[in-house]
Amino acid sequence: MADLSERFARYVAHQWPDASDIRVEGLSRIHGGASRETYRLRLKLRRDGVAEERPLILRRDPSGSLIETERATEYNAYRAFQGTAVPVPEPLWLEEDEQWLDRPFFVMEEITGCESSPQTLLTTPPYQEHIERMGEQKWRILGALNKADPGELGLADLMPAVKPEECWQRELLKWEEMIDEDEMTPQPIGRAAIRWLRRHPPPPPQKISVVHADFRTGNFLADGEGNIRAILDWEMAHLGNAIEDLAWSISRIWCWARDDRPGGLLPRDRAIALWEEASGLRADPEALHWWELLANLKALAIWISGGNEYATGSNHDTILGFTGWWLTNSQNRAILEIMGHLT
């Protein structure tokens, strides 16, 4: 860690040549960032004779991860949503040059005094006293996110364009290809889901939206009063059908409280109603069903890919092996449930 701290301090000196007395303190790795190595640190320096101290988050590319993601996508999303109804941390730097920290990385402010762990939020005071409040904000924020105009945000030129009628094909193909490449054993349930999804294409979206693509309890920061202070983990964000986000957010696998409440927070109907109200979009039941099945297939692909990386790749982070064991079979059961074959 000392080496990483020193190298990051040199990088800050390069970025801010007018700064002096640059020190990096308390650099430590944060658990759970399965798609990036995530570190917390305190940056201390002087500029114009004034001492500054900034808590920062450093996200560095791993040598392998649950999902192959574009760091620029996440960085651009943080920049685009600054000052909007969708709370995000302030991004500072995106660095692709590997000379600094061996791998590309980006840096953003740390939002302190918050929690993201679903287990802590749902079971530990003071957070658990605000479950309903967090739930209401969660789906209102998602609605605002999906309502936002990608062009006005400056994201339309930074993310691949997609025609409304092609949203479903692109997503299905992406996750099918991941299963094709990474499956270590045959996946009869996943394959049946893929065939069904292809035979029953959903209606096109009412408009093209920014899709966060990993919007769930676990990917937002809440403070002790139940205020959601930031939406995190935008690595998979893209342009597409907003219902993809709603479906993922209410997916069975994120029912952390082991009941039917999506994300362990609110009844499903309430979550959908809040999203519809905030987004101005309608959660067409036929479309929602298709995208919920796709959400479950996508999650299966991610667990398969992570397990493959753990077993055969260069990243042996325990979280990759654990999710493979913990979630793959549950994900198959969730697919059976949504296809009506669990009972």
Partner 1 sequence: MKPDVDVTLQLIAASLMTEIAPKISDDYIQRNSMLTAMLLQSAAEEWDRAAARRVEENRTLRRLFAEVAPEIGDPELRERLDAASGEEEESLRISDLNRSNDGLRTLLIQLHAHVEGIDTEGARRIEAAIWRELRVSTERRALSLAPF
List all residues 6 or more positions away from 153 whose beta carbon is below 8 Å from its beta carbon.
Answer: 80, 81, 84, 210
Q: How far is the CB of 108 from partner 1 (least distance, A)?
A: 19
Rounded to whole angstroms, the Cα distance separating 194 from 196 reads: 5
Is residue 319 a contact residue for partner 1 (CB under 8 A)? yes
Degrees, nearest 5: CA angle 156-218-282: 50
Q: How far is the CB of 132 from partner 1 (least distance, A)?
A: 22
Closer to partner 1 by Cβ: residue 32 or 201 = 32
Is residue 29 a contact residue for partner 1 (CB under 8 A)? yes
Q: Site size for partner 1, by CB under 8 A?
A: 35
Position among 3, 17, 18, 28 found at the interface with partner 1 (CB under 8 A): 28
Is residue 322 a contact residue for partner 1 (CB under 8 A)? yes
Is residue 85 a contact residue for partner 1 (CB under 8 A)? no
CA 297 to chain centre: 16
Both tokens assigned to 117: 């762990």
Give bridge partners of residue 38 from the DSSP assignment: 30, 59
Position among 137, 219, 308, 332 found at the interface with partner 1 (CB under 8 A): 332
Closer to partner 1 by Cβ: residue 139 or 256 = 256
Bond preceding residue 17 cis, omega within 30 of 0? no
Contact (CB, 8 A) for 75 and 106: yes
Position among 159, 253, 288, 297 found at the interface with partner 1 (CB under 8 A): 253
CA 94 to chain centre: 18
Site string for partner 1, 127-166 (x = CB under 8 A): ----------------------------------------
Q: Which DSSP string corresponds to 34-83? A: TTSEEEEEEEEEEETTEEEEEEEEEEE--SS-SS---HHHHHHHHHHTTT
Site for partner 1 in 181-200 (CB under 8 A): 185-189, 191-192, 195
HSE, side-chain direction, 13 A CA sphere, residue 108: 24
Considering only 69-77, 105-113, 247-255, 272-280, which stretch makes contact with partner 1 by CB under 8 A?
Answer: 247-255
DSSP code for 129: G
Is residue 255 a contact residue for partner 1 (CB under 8 A)? yes
Considering only 57-65, 94-102, 202-210, 250-258, which stretch makes contact with partner 1 by CB under 8 A?
Answer: 250-258
Is residue 336 a contact residue for partner 1 (CB under 8 A)? yes
Radius of gyration (Cα) for the chain, nearest Å?
Answer: 20
Q: How far is the CB of 63 from partner 1 (least distance, A)?
A: 16
How are beta strands 105-109 and 91-95 bridged, if at all?
Answer: antiparallel
Rounded to whole angstroms, the Cα distance separating 156 from 153 reads: 8
Contacts to partner 1 by CB under 8 A: 28-32, 185-189, 191-192, 195, 252-253, 255-256, 258, 317-319, 321-322, 325-327, 329-330, 332-334, 336, 341-343
